[in-house]
Amino acid sequence: MATSGRFTAAQRAAILAGGKIVQTWHLLVPENDAHTAWDEVPIHNRGYSTGTHDRVLRAGTRKHTVWNPSPNAHNTPKAVRYIFTVRNDDGIFYEASSDNIYYFGGVPARQAQPNECRVLHRIYIWDPAAGSFDKIDHMDFTGGIIELRHEDTADPNGNPTGAITIITTEQVDAWAALRRIWTIDDATDHPMTNNEPGGLDYTWTVT
């Protein structure tokens, strides 16, 4: 959990008052090959709602790490991975089903591959003063699907009771920053001015 300083005053008050915290999951399905437009499909609505979209069985956890290593530190960062489990009784998470969640039924219709799609995970808290749920922005997560694992479930007697899908995602747009290798020669040159009357301009190198 991030530090409380990143919550708004209203959110901190809501937490202290025991406000209900809920989560949502949505799938972004690309509507074209260029991925310039996306169709947003609910996987699980907010915790106060019910219906066919309430599919998440295990929310899982994710841990974000911020670091600023020395150029001499020879370790490799990793993008955040987030794994959660959904109910798949009707088979919509199967890639080859006739009516799956990766299908965009617009004009033209398009069948996307799971690894083209994005999962949006959002967290909200009930704000009694506003009478609505307030999104905790710094907890937003957008992940690309990198693996689907389909499993059947059974009762204690071994009779089939349903099917689940375990979805593994990885934070998108992270690698551009994580793969940047800083060297001892990296620097930014910029002018620094003495603002006193008659002052001189100096050039400083920040390393």
* Mean pLDDT for the stretch of residues 76-92: 87
**For residue 30, is pLDDT > 70?**
yes
* Mean pLDDT for the stretch of residues 164-192: 70
pLDDT at 101: 93
Our CA dihedral for 107, 113, 114, 119, rounded to 10 degrees, sits at -40
pLDDT at 40: 92
- One DSSP character per residue, the chain reads ---GGGS-HHHHHHHHTT--EEEEEEEEEESSTT--SEEEEEEE--TT--STT--EEE------------TT--------EEEEEEE-TT-TT-TT-TT-TTEE-SSS-EE--GGG-EEEEEEEEEETTTTEEEE-GGG-EEEEEEEEEEEEEE-TTS-EEEEEEEEEEEETT-HHHHT----TT--EEEEEE--STT--EEEEEE-
% of the chain with per-residue pLDDT over 70: 71
Per-residue pLDDT of 121-155, as tens digits, reads 999 998 888 888 899 988 889 999 999 999 987 77
Q: Which residue, among 115, 106, 102, 130, has the nearest Cα to 168 in the 3D structure?
A: 115
| Most confident stretch, 163-167, 184-188, 203-207 | 163-167
Question: 19: pLDDT confidence band, cut at 50, 70 and 90?
Answer: confident
pLDDT at 150: 93
pLDDT at 63: 82
pLDDT at 207: 35
**For residue 167, is pLDDT > 70?**
yes
pLDDT-wise least confident of 59-68, 97-106, 116-125, 181-190: 181-190
Question: How many CB atoms lie under 10 A from the CB of residue 47?
Answer: 15
Question: 187: pLDDT confidence band, cut at 50, 70 and 90?
Answer: low
CA 129 to CA 18: how far, in whole Å? Answer: 13
| Burial (Cβ within 10 Å: 0-12, 13-18, ≥19) of residue 2 | exposed
* Mean pLDDT for the stretch of residues 16-24: 89
* Mean pLDDT for the stretch of residues 9-25: 89
**For residue 13, is pLDDT > 60?**
yes
Q: What integer best gives the mean pLDDT of the chain? A: 79
pLDDT at 66: 65
pTM strictly above 0.85: no
